[in-house]
Structures are given as structure tokens and as C-alpha cells.
Amino acid sequence: MPLRILPLLSVLAFAGAWPIATAPAAEPAPAPCIFCEIAAGRTNQPAREVYRDDLVVAFMDRAPRNPGHVLVVPIRHAENALDTPPATTARLAVTAQKIARAIRRTDLRAEGFNLQSNSGRAAGQTVFHFHVHVIPRFAGETPAGAEKVAAAPADLEAAAAKIRAALVSP
Ligand code: 5GP
Ligand code: ZN
């Protein structure tokens, strides 16, 4: 190939008019979203669910900051608090309050709660499906809370059963 043609080919390739082997690969398909899987009931962990309605679902955090740590998430995927429809955000807030009140009626003995949501990696978000944490807190804890350690499934299921029962009791 005459050398003087090369610059023209480079320009065409840069403009997308000429296929070249070094063209950027297509974006990888997004990985399945674990909270979408849970919301759709595809994870085989129904015993960890504490509440569900037409917009939101609440279930035990698999690595609770304290016993009774629940996540409330929209059923329909939204990445974070900023891109969730307001009606869903309102339902998430009301549900988080409902869950916290129910936890207070159990023997988990929560003395306080963090109702918390992290939006964006810089804010500490690690699962990119909007969620509100309902975290039971106890006097004397450091503000950051206890270390998070993956809980035994039986402990998660026992806590979920208590909260479900408290949700339906007056
Ligand atoms: P973030 O750091 O995004 O605010 O909170 C994500 C939370 O999701 C963490 O507390 C983490 O323990 C929890 N989590 C991550 N993966 C799973 C999962 O597969 N199942 C459950 N139940 N919780 C999860
Ligand atoms: Zn999702």
C-alpha cells in the first residue's frame, strides 16, 4: 500500500468509515442485578423477605451491620435515589419507617435506627439498585457501627420471621 494512502485510511477509520482491528470493543452486557433478582423472587431466599407490595420489597441484608438490618428496594430497577420515580421514593421512605417500627416491636431490642441510602460510588454505594438501609442501632456503638460479617442463613431467617410477625401485629 502506498505510504501516502495511510493517513487517509487513518482518518476514515477514526471517523468510523473503515473497519480496523483496533476499534474499541462494544460495551460488555451489564451483569444481572442481584436486587432485581431478589425482587423478582429468583434467588430462592423467600425466608429472608419481610415485606412486599406493588412498588417495593424489603429483605434482610446478607451482611448485617447489626441483627435486624433490612434493605428496602424498588421492585423496578433504578440505580439510585436520583433516578427513582418520586412515588416510589415516597413508598420506600414510608416502608422504611414501617419496618423500623416493626423491628422496635420485636425482641431485637433496637435503641435507635439508621435509615440510610448511599447514592453513587463516591457515597459508598456498592450495589447499584437503589436501596434504603434500615439498621437497628444500640447505645455505645461507634457512629460507623459494628463490623459487617456475613450472617448465618438461619439467623437471617429467624430475624426476618420476627419482623414479618411484628409487621402484622398491632
Ligand atoms: P450499599 O453499600 O450499596 O449502600 O449497600 C449494599 C448492601 O447490600 C450491603 O450492606 C450488602 O451487605 C448488601 N448485599 C450485597 N449483596 C447482597 C445480596 O446478594 N443479598 C443481600 N440480601 N444483601 C446483599
Ligand atoms: Zn436492579
pLDDT of residue 30: 54
Site residues for ligand 1, CB cut-off 6 Å: 34, 59-63, 71, 118, 124-127
Ligand 2 centre from 89 Cα, in Å?
15
pLDDT recorded at residue 169: 80
For the stretch 76-112, pLDDT in tens is 999 999 999 999 999 999 999 999 999 999 999 999 9
Class of domain 36-168: alpha beta
166 and 102 in contact (C-beta within 8 Å)?
yes
The 10s digit of each residue's pLDDT in 4-60 is 444 433 433 333 333 334 444 444 445 789 999 999 999 877 789 999 999 999 999
The answer to whether residues 36 and 128 touch, using CB atoms and an 8 Å cutoff, is: no
Average of per-residue pLDDT across 126-148: 86
Q: Which of 85, 79, 98, 33 is nearest to 55 (CA)?
A: 85
- Pocket mutation for ligand 1, best pick of 37, 71, 129, 157 (most atoms within 8 Å of C-beta): 71
- pLDDT at 146 (0 to 100): 57
Task: Cell numbers for 137, please give them.
Answer: 442501632
**Which segments of 76-152 does DSSP mark as H helices, in order?**
86-104
- Which string of b and e fits 1-10 if b means at least 16 CB within 10 Å? eeeeeeeeee
106 CA → ligand 1 middle, Å = 23
0.85 exceeded by pTM:
no
